[in-house]
């Protein structure tokens, strides 16, 4: 229970991160589909508090951007008027948390477009796209993990509780799935499903694919827990008063699997978000124009982008704090379960 | 006196899979026969591996014997299919040795004692709770602790809980499989007195499995000695303990430590 | 011996299972290469049907599978529709490139992970261990896609590494030695990416395995006999830790193979990865199946190699099976 505090900290951090993404509509200055074809690939714009003359401004501001002399695709800050940011301004319509329609945004610029993280080939604001993209990617990861865990528990509990041919069959299958390189499996499955589908269908398709591939490991872990729980005396006792299999599973055995399931969830969610990113990056996932962290990186496959437009890499970094949070959570949960005793000092050095 | 339980030629073989590393069959019970009269206590003693626990499981219908019959209140129960056994189960209840393992630590005391009633689909929630509270009182668990989780109780209290749970379905036969062995000496005395009280109060029959001969002498009317899956000696407790016939019985008696000479007259020559 | 045979049969079953699985997945395809072709107005429907019959795609699944297995045993793996050549030679070339990458990455990763892990284990809780733990945690948190892309950008903007492909322009005119160096320099970036992605996990596991052995009573007894610490470490401790480490080795082969798919695509290394991707996008059925099977084969081989090593290293396995 000493780990409770550590656990709370990680959960809080993750909640905050997810909260930021959930409020994408509010935090993003623009609609992710809003284009500005005249000025593609704008670099990130800096926010200033002190202008060129050394005057302090109360409101943060930025300078408009214009083409550099002699170049047709390089931009720089213009020397015009400082353009102040406006906070809590009205902008594009969206639904807060998917429910409340509103037009309130945290910040924006009334006259010129502000791109804190630059813009892409169509002039769309990267910051907005990253925020909205996070919603899709994270949701795909969460739902995929949910599906996998559901399948894993189903298979593992059946195999562990009933044993016999069911156990043999499922565990052979699990061995097969676990032994194959999962990315290849993912691809193989994705390969044969329709490629050119609408973003919504693609989204659900990917969740299905990701979820269907990763069930083997959770299934094996759950099976182990169920096998040992089945032999516990209190289960026998309950059977002694005539409890049915369903009751035993529901009340006694499955609750024992909760810690395994939670730890697996903490490990699988980031992996599955990454899986979505990989698929979308390669063009096998959610297609344009819906932004996901994966397809936001797709432009990096072009040499010119790699060379000149480094800010197109930033969406890749968005997942890092989530990875940190989930892995931290997983390791805390793991330690809670009593594994990780290596951390105590060893006696090797006292010899 | 009425015969409550009669066991005839019970045999139980386990396939090699149960024993790791070998493919051999293991015979746990070889032709066991005995009977218990209603309202009496039969003590079953023997060393580890003599088959006592297997016998308990078979009688409680948690294992199926390979052959032989178990006749309870005049009816054969060993050969019955599972669904029919469910009807008999309430009448024969088992109390395990280690209450830390036989009670789900996540359950509260009340949940533990109401569980058998819940599983058998008896009455409604209120009635179940009332009955459970009455049982808790009967075994000496204070009412304020009814909602505490099982792992918050001491060993002795947990065993009381286990007994209360076993009594919930109003059984006729209670099998106590080394039920006192995991407890401290003083606690053992308390619990054994509780058992005696309950027996006279509720008219229970006990099958008391133990390796502690002193306890057997204290609680039982008859004693059966098991060795390697067979009953080698059977008879009234005083006779067996005073003049044991079999070597194994003598060994067990000699091995029993005694601080004072038996206050209840169990002196072995 | 029995142990090895058992492992071998397992490996074969795995291969069969993988091929079945991929074939089964292929039934999910509502459309295929020829449907796309049909959409092309320049190709007449009769041509499409004729081609389909030629490739036998109109036969039921079990028949197709049986034919495929038969041709597999002859060394053929079907036909690629988009490259218009048999699949097997196509795969072998690409596979060789992937193997090159994976083998070197595995070697380097282990060459780094072993000393680092051992160092960590022997200085448990102290500064070097803590620094290493932080470093591995930092690396772990960066997923391989992010790492690969990041390295690529770094390489492109700094010009330190050649990016893209396996050979420079004018490769044919290089001398043997120059060719060797050219390929090696092109390999640098992808190998670094693979090693960095695998390193943190390997280091952690080595550390855990060695640390556990260092706590073992038998080692303490040996120490009390006055044996020197370095000897203790290398002759006693490491041998005991060998078993879990060898299984880890087998596992690392699979992980690196999976990882190589992505790295090859990102860095344009002409291995199985980019081929698989192209084939998927082009719905080139047999190339996809062949590609998945090939990588499974490597995986199984890698694991079998690990099993061989375990058999050689751990005398208990030989005696245990002999006793049975």
Give the whole-angstrom CA distance, residue B230 versus residue B33: 9
Q: What 8-state DSSP symbol labels residue A119?
A: B
* Contact state of B86 with A234 under an 8 Å Cβ cutoff: no
Which of C292, C293, C304 has the most A C-beta neighbours within 10 Å, making it the best mutation to test the interface with A?
C292
Ranked by mean pLDDT, which of A56-60, B250-254, C126-130 comes out on top?
Answer: C126-130
Q: How confident is the model at residue A343 (pLDDT cuts 50, 70, 90)?
A: very low
Interface of C with A in 230-249 (CB under 8 A): none
Three-state SS at B186 = helix
Interface of A with B in 206-235 (CB under 8 A): 232-234
Which of B93, B102, B119 has its CB closest to that of A243? B119
* Contact state of C145 with A306 under an 8 Å Cβ cutoff: no
Give the whole-angstrom CA distance, residue B2 versus residue B24: 41
Give the whole-angstrom CA distance, residue B94 versus residue C267: 68
* Contact state of A241 with B93 under an 8 Å Cβ cutoff: yes
- The ipTM, to two decimals, is 0.85
Indicate whether C64 pLDDT > 60. Answer: yes
Indicate whether A211 pLDDT > 80. Answer: yes
Interface of B with A in 39-78 (CB under 8 A): 60-62
* Contact state of A232 with B101 under an 8 Å Cβ cutoff: yes
* A234: Cβ contacts below 8 Å, ≥ 6 apart: A252, B101, B102, B103, B104
| Average pLDDT, integer, range B124-139 | 89
* Contact state of C21 with A282 under an 8 Å Cβ cutoff: no
Lowest mean pLDDT among A144-153, A219-228, C262-271, C314-323: C314-323
Q: Which residue has 């290849």 as its token pair?
A: A184
pLDDT at residue A345, rounded to an integer: 39
**Predicted model pTM:** 0.81
pLDDT digits (tens, 9 = 90+) for C174-190: 788 888 888 888 889 99
Q: For residues A97, A103, A107 and A111, what is the CA-based torsion angle, rounded to 10 degrees?
A: 150
* Contact state of C288 with A188 under an 8 Å Cβ cutoff: yes
Q: Which residues of C touch A282 (CB under 8 A)?
A: 265, 277
Give the whole-angstrom CA distance, residue C222 versus residue C131: 30
pLDDT digits (tens, 9 = 90+) for B166-212: 998 889 999 998 888 888 888 888 888 898 999 988 889 999 998 88
Which of B115, B150, B162, B181 has the most A C-beta neighbours within 10 Å, making it the best mutation to test the interface with A?
B115
Distance from CA of C139 to the nearest CA of A (A): 10
Indicate whether C50 pLDDT > 70. Answer: no
Give the whole-angstrom CA distance, residue A134 versus residue A130: 6
Interface of C with A in 159-218 (CB under 8 A): 164, 207-208, 211-212, 214-215
Give the whole-angstrom CA distance, residue C40 versus residue C36: 7
* Contact state of B104 with A234 under an 8 Å Cβ cutoff: yes
Q: Which residues of A touch B61 (CB under 8 A)?
A: 240
| Average pLDDT, integer, range A57-71 | 79
Which is nearest to C149 in space by CA: C289, C279, C262, C273? C262
* Contact state of B119 with A234 under an 8 Å Cβ cutoff: no
Give the whole-angstrom CA distance, residue C125 versus residue C139: 20
pLDDT at residue C54, rounded to an integer: 58
Which of A180, A281, A344 has its CB closest to that of C145? A281
Domain B3-103+166-262: homologous superfamily in CATH: P-loop containing nucleotide triphosphate hydrolases (3.40.50.300)
Which is nearest to C194 in space by CA: C270, C282, C104, C126? C104
Indicate whether A347 pLDDT > 50. Answer: no
pLDDT at residue A233, rounded to an integer: 85
Indicate whether A346 pLDDT > 70. Answer: no
The structure tokens listed for B243 are 């003049």
* A340: Cβ contacts below 8 Å, ≥ 6 apart: A331, A334
- Residue A258, judged by CB atoms within 10 A of its CB (0-12, 13-18, 19+), counts as exposed
Distance from CA of C121 to the nearest CA of A (A): 9
* Contact state of A233 with B96 under an 8 Å Cβ cutoff: yes
Indicate whether C216 pLDDT > 70. Answer: yes
* Contact state of A192 with C277 under an 8 Å Cβ cutoff: no
The per-residue pLDDT of chain B, averaged, comes to 83
Distance from CA of B97 to the nearest CA of A (A): 10
The structure tokens listed for A191 are 């390969």
Distance from CA of B263 to the nearest CA of A (A): 36
pLDDT at residue B241, rounded to an integer: 80
* Contact state of A181 with C303 under an 8 Å Cβ cutoff: no
Distance from CA of B180 to the nearest CA of A (A): 16
Distance from CA of A49 to the nearest CA of C (A): 31
pLDDT digits (tens, 9 = 90+) for C132-162: 999 998 998 999 999 999 999 888 888 888 8
Which is nearest to B58 in space by CA: B84, B94, B83? B94
Distance from CA of A106 to the nearest CA of C (A): 29
* Contact state of A323 with C279 under an 8 Å Cβ cutoff: no
The per-residue pLDDT of chain A, averaged, comes to 84
Which of B61, B98, B115 has its CB closest to that of A238? B115
Domains along the sequence of chain C with CATH: 2-30+76-323 (1.10.3720.10)
Ranked by mean pLDDT, which of A132-141, B95-104, C221-230 comes out on top?
Answer: A132-141
* 8 Å CB contact between A209 and A193: yes
Which of B101, B103, B119 has its CB closest to that of A241? B119
Segment holding B58, helix H or strand E: helix B52-59
Q: Is the dihedral of CA A57, A62, A66, A68 positive or negative?
A: positive
Q: How confident is the model at residue C7 (pLDDT cuts 50, 70, 90)?
A: confident
pLDDT at residue A261, rounded to an integer: 92
Identify the closest residue of chain B to A247 by CA–CA distance: B119
Indicate whether A239 pLDDT > 80. Answer: yes
Distance from CA of C321 to the nearest CA of A (A): 23
Indicate whether A133 pLDDT > 90. Answer: yes
Identify the closest residue of chain A to C146 by CA–CA distance: A316
pLDDT at residue A137, rounded to an integer: 94
| Average pLDDT, integer, range A333-345 | 52
Q: How confident is the model at residue C253 (pLDDT cuts 50, 70, 90)?
A: confident
* 8 Å CB contact between B217 and B202: no
| Average pLDDT, integer, range B116-125 | 84
| Average pLDDT, integer, range A137-158 | 93
pLDDT-above-90 percentage for chain A: 28
pLDDT at residue C161, rounded to an integer: 82
* Contact state of C145 with A185 under an 8 Å Cβ cutoff: no
């Amino acid at each position: 229970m000493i780990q409770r505090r550590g656990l709370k900290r990680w959960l809080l951090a993750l909640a905050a991160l997810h909260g930021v993404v959930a409020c994408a509509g509010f935090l993003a200055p623009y609609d992710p589909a809003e284009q500005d074809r005249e000025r593609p690939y704008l670099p990130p714009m800096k926010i200033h508090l002190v202008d060129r003359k050394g005057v302090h401004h109360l409101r943060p501001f930025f300078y408009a951007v214009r083409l550099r002399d002699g170049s047709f695709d390089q931009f720089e800050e213009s020397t015009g008027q400082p353009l102040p940011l406006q906070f809590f301004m009205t902008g594009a319509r969206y639904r807060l948390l998917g429910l409340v329609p509103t037009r309130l945004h945290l910040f924006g610029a009334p006259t010129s477009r502000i791109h804190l993280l630059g813009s892409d080939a169509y002039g769309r604001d990267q910051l907005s796209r990253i925020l909205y993209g996070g919603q899709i990617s994270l949701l795909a990861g969460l739902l995929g993990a949910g599906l996998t865990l559901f399948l894993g528990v189903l298979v593992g509990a059946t195999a562990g509780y009933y044993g016999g041919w069911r156990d043999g069959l499922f565990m052979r299958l699990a061995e097969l799935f676990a032994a194959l390189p999962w990315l290849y499996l993912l691809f193989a499955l994705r390969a044969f499903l329709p490629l050119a589908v609408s973003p919504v269908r693609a989204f659900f398709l990917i969740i299905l694919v990701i979820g269907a591939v990763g069930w083997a490991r959770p299934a094996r872990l759950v099976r182990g827990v169920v096998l040992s729980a089945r032999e516990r005396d209190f289960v026998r006792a309950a059977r002694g008063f005539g409890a049915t299999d369903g009751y035993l599973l529901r009340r006694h055995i499955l609750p024992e699997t909760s810690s395994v399931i939670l730890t697996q969830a903490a490990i699988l969610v980031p992996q599955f978000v990454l899986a979505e990113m990989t698929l979308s990056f390669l063009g096998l996932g959610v297609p344009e124009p819906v932004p996901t962290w994966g397809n936001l990186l797709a432009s990096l496959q072009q040499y010119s982008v790699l060379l000149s437009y480094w800010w197109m890499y930033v969406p890749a970094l968005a997942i890092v704090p989530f990875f940190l949070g989930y892995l931290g959570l997983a390791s805390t949960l793991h330690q809670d379960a009593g594994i990780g005793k290596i951390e105590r000092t060893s006696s090797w050095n006292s010899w | 006196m009425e015969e409550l339980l009669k066991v005839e030629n019970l045999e139980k073989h386990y396939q090699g899979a149960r024993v790791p590393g070998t493919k051999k069959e293991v015979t746990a019970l070889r032709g066991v026969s005995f009977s218990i009269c209603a309202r009496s206590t039969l003590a079953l003693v023997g060393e580890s591996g003599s088959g006592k626990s297997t016998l308990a499981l078979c009688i409680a219908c948690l294992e199926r014997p390979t052959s032989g019959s178990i006749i309870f209140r005049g009816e054969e129960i060993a050969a019955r299919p599972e669904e029919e056994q469910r009807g008999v189960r309430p009448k024969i209840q088992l109390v395990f040795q280690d209450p830390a393992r036989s009670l789900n630590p996540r359950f509260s005391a009340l949940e533990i004692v109401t569980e058998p009633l819940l599983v058998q689909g008896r009455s409604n929630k209120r009635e179940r709770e009332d009955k459970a509270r009455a049982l808790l009182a009967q075994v000496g668990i204070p009412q304020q602790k009814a909602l505490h989780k099982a792992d918050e109780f001491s060993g002795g209290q947990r065993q009381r809980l286990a007994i209360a749970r076993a009594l919930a379905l109003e059984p006729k036969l209670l099998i106590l499989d080394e039920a006192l062995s995991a407890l401290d000496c003083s606690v053992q005395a308390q619990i054994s007195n509780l058992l005696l009280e309950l027996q006279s109060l509720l008219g229970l029959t006990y099958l008391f499995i133990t390796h502690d001969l002193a306890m057997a002498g204290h609680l039982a009317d008859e004693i059966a000695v098991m060795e390697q899956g067979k009953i080698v000696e059977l008879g009234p407790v005083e006779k067996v303990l005073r003049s044991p016939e079999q070597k194994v019985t003598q060994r067990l008696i000699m091995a029993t430590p005694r601080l004072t000479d038996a206050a209840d007259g169990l002196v072995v020559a | 011996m029995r142990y090895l045979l058992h492992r071998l049969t397992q490996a074969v079953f795995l291969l069969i299972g993988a091929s079945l699985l991929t074939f089964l997945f292929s039934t999910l395809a509502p459309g295929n290469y020829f449907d796309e072709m049909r959409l092309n107005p320049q190709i007449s429907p009769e041509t499409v049907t004729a081609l389909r019959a030629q490739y036998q795609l109109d036969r039921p699944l079990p028949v197709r599978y049986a034919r495929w297995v038969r041709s597999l045993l002859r060394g053929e793996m079907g036909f690629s529709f988009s490259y218009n050549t048999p699949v097997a030679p196509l795969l072998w070339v690409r596979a060789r490139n992937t193997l090159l990458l994976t083998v070197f990455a595995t070697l380097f990763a282990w060459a780094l992970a072993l000393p680092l892990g051992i160092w960590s284990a022997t200085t448990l809780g102290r500064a070097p261990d803590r620094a290493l733990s932080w470093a591995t945690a930092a690396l772990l948190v960066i997923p391989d896609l992010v790492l690969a892309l990041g390295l690529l950008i770094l390489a492109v903007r700094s010009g330190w590494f050649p990016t893209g492909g396996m050979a420079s322009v004018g490769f044919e005119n290089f001398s043997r030695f120059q060719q060797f160096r050219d390929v090696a320099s092109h390999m640098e970036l992808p190998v670094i990416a693979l090693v960095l992605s695998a390193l943190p996990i390997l280091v952690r596991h080595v550390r855990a395995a060695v640390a556990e052995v260092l706590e073992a009573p038998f080692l303490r007894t040996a120490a009390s006999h006055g044996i020197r610490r370095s000897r203790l470490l290398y002759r006693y401790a490491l041998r005991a830790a060998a078993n879990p480490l060898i299984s880890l080795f087998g596992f690392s082969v699979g992980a690196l193979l999976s990882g190589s798919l992505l790295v090859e695509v990102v860095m344009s290394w002409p291995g199985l990865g980019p081929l698989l991707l192209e084939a998927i996008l082009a719905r080139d059925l047999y190339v996809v199946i062949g590609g998945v099977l090939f990588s499974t084969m490597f995986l199984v081989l890698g694991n079998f190699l690990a099993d061989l090593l375990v058999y050689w290293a751990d005398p208990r396995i030989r005696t245990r099976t002999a006793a049975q």
